[in-house]
Structure 1
Amino acid sequence: MFAESMVAVSHLPAVELFVAQAGGPADRTLLVIHGGPDWDHTYLRTPLDQLAGHHQLIMPDLRGCGRSTCGLLDDQYTPAATTRDLIALLDAMGLGQVDVLGFSYGGFIAQRLALAAPERVRRLIIASSSVLPVPPGAFDGWHERSRRLAAESAVWRDPSLSGPELTRAAAIASAPANVWRSQALPDYLNRLARVHFTAEWMRPWRAGILPPARPEDSARRLAAGGHSLLLLHGRQDMLFPATLIEAAAKVIPSAKAVVIEDAGHMAHLDHPQAWLDTIAQFLA
């Protein structure tokens, strides 16, 4: 279903993005921005692949991620550079205005894209992410979250792990925290086994030079921009509190918040049909 290619988006430095593309009308293109970073897009292919035909799907791996260009200097892995890459990708593919879905970390990049090039974004979906900062103590007292995240914390402290091996191990260890329903866990682990993990973004993050991804004053700026906005979230998301999504919708007139019950950060795995139906209705 997906055609795969490499697309040049930068010359200095030289950057090519690995892009998976599923056919559909060019004027109904959905650009999907994965999270991580240091992951790739593949864990999002299903159920979004069901939109193919009605929509053209463009699913790149960000610079330093998956099968896209790696080996850049640490200061060349920034949210701003990634945003420029995506604008260049749209140019290279001859795409004018597109719908954009940003997932988790990709939700921050999607916000940046809408703010940097508002004329290129028709409708915006922020999934399992946030336009508001997570306040200190937002998860205090949620003992189930602490229990589910304990294994991942141990992985990050393990001195024997490094590079992509560490990224993969952390993703696997955090799986029970990222999916809420135990029934969804086997499918999620199967997807993680196919992800091309890197550790490019981990270096500037650990060195303390990675700029914040969430745009400053994002909610006010998105409200001023007036884009049609869907905030899609799982009630039991353990990275970004669902209450922030509902709060953001109150300050962004063009935003609609949909919170899926009994779903975690990977809400598209906990309740794939409800998640997909919400997106399809928003893009209709």
Structure 2
Amino acid sequence: MRLHVREFPGPADRTLLVVHGGPEWDHSYLVEPLDRLAGEHRLLFPDLRGCGRSPAAEPLTPDAMVDDLAELIGSSPVDVLGFSYGGLLAQRLAIRYPELVRRLIVASSSVLPVPPDAFAGWAEYERRRAAQPSVGELEGADLVRAEAFAAAPCDVWREESLPDYLRRLERVTFTATYQEVYRSGRFPSARYPDALDRLAGIPLFLLHGRQDMTFPASLVARTPCTDAVVLEEAGHMAHIDQPEAWLDAVRRFLSF
């Protein structure tokens, strides 16, 4: 597997691997503001197997994606930031290859499972979800793209941040690699039910938006970790709602 990887130069012993979410997105929506760490850190932004500009190949599983990342890392440990679904993959990487992960940042994701009533009683959540436009009869990558745009007002909390986010979505290369295996029930969960126990011994950092409507911020306080930051006035795309504070938190985590 030859992954498409965008690299920003920096010290090899201060490499940060960034794992995007989706999974059928690419890495591009996460480049800013992390690109400001270039020079201080070597930055690696891969497109996961079958995502963005990386080719698709069987098996289409979380473990295969994680094996690709381990091969990309090589033999020297790196810091890993996993965002949203990428946060689940980053945990899986740290559990299966603990010798390759120096510090683990789980951003806009969760270590604990999301309870089914996580957003019950939150009026703004209900309002924004109800206002989501229908994506019609689309299929394939067109469907993935349309779903991303439809969910944008739920993913970004601050109205003034929405135009920037929509511009980023315009640049994303969406794919539909995992649609068939997901719909057929053959796509395994990336989440380990006992992830906290399995992650013991690896520095774990949590970075979240208070108004995240995908992974509830309430789980952060219930998760034992090395350090955690919950940003106010920030949704699922907390790095877009609060880019300066988000980047400051990443810098702090990487200094431990």
**TM-score under structure 2 normalisation?**
0.96
Deviations 1:119-140 (A, max 9, x none): 1111110000000001121111
Q: Which has the larger share of helix?
A: 1
The CA distance in 2 between the partners of 1:114 and 1:229, in whole Å, is: 10
The CA distance in 2 between the partners of 1:153 and 1:68, in whole Å, is: 30
What SS does the aligned partner of 1:123 have? strand
Q: 1:83 pairs with 45, 48, 66, which one?
A: 66
What SS does the aligned partner of 2:4 have? strand
- 1:16-35 alignment, distance < 5 Å: 16-35=2-21
The CA distance in 2 between the partners of 1:38 and 1:87, in whole Å, is: 20
2:213 paired with 1:238? yes
The CA distance in 1 between the partners of 2:23 and 2:190, in whole Å, is: 11
Deviations 1:50-103 (A, max 9, x none): 000000001100001000002x35xx2111111111111112xxx511000000
- Using the TM superposition, give the Cα deviation of residue 114 of structure 1 relative to its aligned residue in structure 2, in angstroms: 0.6
2:237 paired with 1:266? yes
Paired residues of 2:227 and 2:253 also in contact (CA < 8 A): no
2:248 paired with 1:277? yes
Deviations 1:216-267 (A, max 9, x none): 2111221x2x111110000000011101011113xx4xx2121001100000
- Using the TM superposition, give the Cα deviation of residue 269 of structure 1 relative to its aligned residue in structure 2, in angstroms: 0.3
Flag structure 1 segments of 5+ consecutive residues without an equivalent.
Answer: 1-14
- Using the TM superposition, give the Cα deviation of residue 214 of structure 1 relative to its aligned residue in structure 2, in angstroms: 1.1
Paired residues of 1:20 and 1:58 also in contact (CA < 8 A): yes
Flag structure 2 segments of 5+ consecutive residues without an equivalent.
Answer: none
What SS does the aligned partner of 1:69 have? coil
Aligned to 2:25: 39
Cα pair distance change 1:204/1:150, threshold 3 Å: farther
The CA distance in 1 between the partners of 2:131 and 2:45, in whole Å, is: 30
What SS does the aligned partner of 1:43 have? helix
* Equivalences, count: 255
Cα pair distance change 1:109/1:100, threshold 3 Å: same
Cα pair distance change 1:153/1:221, threshold 3 Å: farther
Paired residues of 2:210 and 2:232 also in contact (CA < 8 A): yes
Aligned to 1:218: 195
2:147 paired with 1:167? no
The CA distance in 2 between the partners of 1:267 and 1:232, in whole Å, is: 9
State the identity %.
59
The CA distance in 1 between the partners of 2:230 and 2:11, in whole Å, is: 29
Q: Considering only aligned residues, what root-mean-square deviation do their CA atoms show, in Å?
A: 1.2
- Using the TM superposition, give the Cα deviation of residue 148 of structure 1 relative to its aligned residue in structure 2, in angstroms: 1.5
Paired residues of 2:217 and 2:230 also in contact (CA < 8 A): yes
Cα pair distance change 1:195/1:151, threshold 3 Å: farther
Paired residues of 2:16 and 2:43 also in contact (CA < 8 A): yes
Deviations 1:145-167 (A, max 9, x none): 12222354732xx2x20000000
Aligned to 1:8: none
The CA distance in 2 between the partners of 1:142 and 1:200, in whole Å, is: 34
What SS does the aligned partner of 1:124 have? strand
Q: Which one is further off, 181-190 or 141-150?
A: 141-150
- 1:60-79 alignment, distance < 5 Å: 60-70=46-56, 72-73=57-58, 76-79=59-62
Aligned to 1:136: 116
The CA distance in 2 between the partners of 1:240 and 1:153, in whole Å, is: 21
The CA distance in 1 between the partners of 2:132 and 2:140, in whole Å, is: 15
Paired residues of 1:30 and 1:57 also in contact (CA < 8 A): yes
